[in-house]
Amino acid sequence: MRPYVFQNGTAVLTGAASGIGRALARGLAVRGSHLALIDRDEVGLNAVAAELRERYPALKIGVHPFDLSRTAQIPALADAVLREHPRVTLLINNAGVALGGTFEQLTLDEFEWVMDINFRAVVALTKAFLPALRSTLDAQLVNVSSLFGLIGPAGQSAYSSSKFAVRGFSEVLRHELTPQGVGVTTVFPGGVRTNIARNARVGQGVSQVETQAGQREFERLLRLDPAQAAEIILHGTGRRQARVLVGNDARLLDWIARLLPGSYGRVLEVLRGAR
């Protein structure tokens, strides 16, 4: 496929109010893309949109506050976006949530909440926007998985399950859609400095001591600047890469998981003890 052209395209972006999403919105605007921005944080979303409208007055930038856990209402969200932006050339499913705790410490409702936002919303958004993408020559779909979509560490059963699901879903779509002219990129960010650790929920059965220790451990992993992560993602998108590994930790652990698929847990313990 030819490289994806950002200029004068329209990107639908979820999780746009902060972190990687905000950095992606800025990077897309720099490249000349019109934007439909989605996030449950209406205040943050409006702040990002106001900044970009001031810097790039020629771009059409729409704001759509929405909680992606309401998956049944995603078709109505897509209709609202398409009324404002009839020509969508890029969908970036970036939004995600985290939940700490062993599987035994989580309730099924907590587990399903993560699956709804991290996986089922990705499926529903892709379904809703696919006709628009297919009607445009050389469109692109980008699904953000995670480092934990490459490995499954203890204490991340819900998050890893959702991100492995995104990975599998995206690989199938790549095989199905590329012959139809829609490229598919799966992104695997490592530790990026966002608020995901502070905003993460913890399972009902997790003690306060475990919560604080887990949060400190998670935050130590978050090193890469979101702007750098966004540039890596957009570079891979433009080249229509099948997989984009973001950060040295993602590249290292992807290699370890491939080399030691049944025993990389021991390596994770060694790496954790070395920090």
In angstroms, the CA 170 to CA 144 distance is 9
Contact by Cβ (8 Å): 154, 109: no
Average pLDDT over residues 169-198: 87
Name the band, by pLDDT with cuts 50, 70 and 90, for residue 258: very high
CATH architecture, domain 10-274? 3-Layer(aba) Sandwich (3.40)
Using the predicted structure, report yes or no on whether residue 197 has a pLDDT greater than 90: no
User: How much is the pLDDT for 268?
Assistant: 80
Catalytic machinery residues? 159
In angstroms, the CA 138 to CA 1 distance is 8
Q: For residue 231, give the DSSP letter.
A: H
Average pLDDT over residues 85-112: 94
Contact by Cβ (8 Å): 39, 21: yes
Q: How far is CA 109 from the centre of its chain?
A: 22
Tokens of 224: 């890469």
Strands (E), the chain: 10-14, 34-39, 61-65, 90-93, 99-100, 139-144, 182-189, 201-202, 243-246
Tokens of 207: 């003690």
Instruction: Please list the helix, strand and coil fractions of the chain in percent, rounded to the nearest 5, in that order.
Output: 55, 15, 30
Tokens of 87: 């020509």
Q: For residue 119, give the DSSP letter.
A: I
pTM: 0.91
Q: How many residues does the chain have?
A: 275
Report the chain's mean pLDDT, rounded to a whole number. 90
Q: What percent of the chain has pLDDT over 90?
A: 77
User: How much is the pLDDT for 204?
Assistant: 67
In angstroms, the CA 198 to CA 196 distance is 6
What confidence tens digit (pLDDT) does each residue in 155-171 have? Answer: 899 999 999 999 999 99
| Residue-range domain boundaries for the chain | 10-274
User: How much is the pLDDT for 269?
Assistant: 78
Q: Are strands 99-100 and 90-93 parallel, antiparallel or unpaired?
A: unpaired
Q: What percent of the chain has pLDDT over 70?
A: 87
Contact by Cβ (8 Å): 184, 143: yes
User: How much is the pLDDT for 196?
Assistant: 60
Average pLDDT over residues 43-57: 98
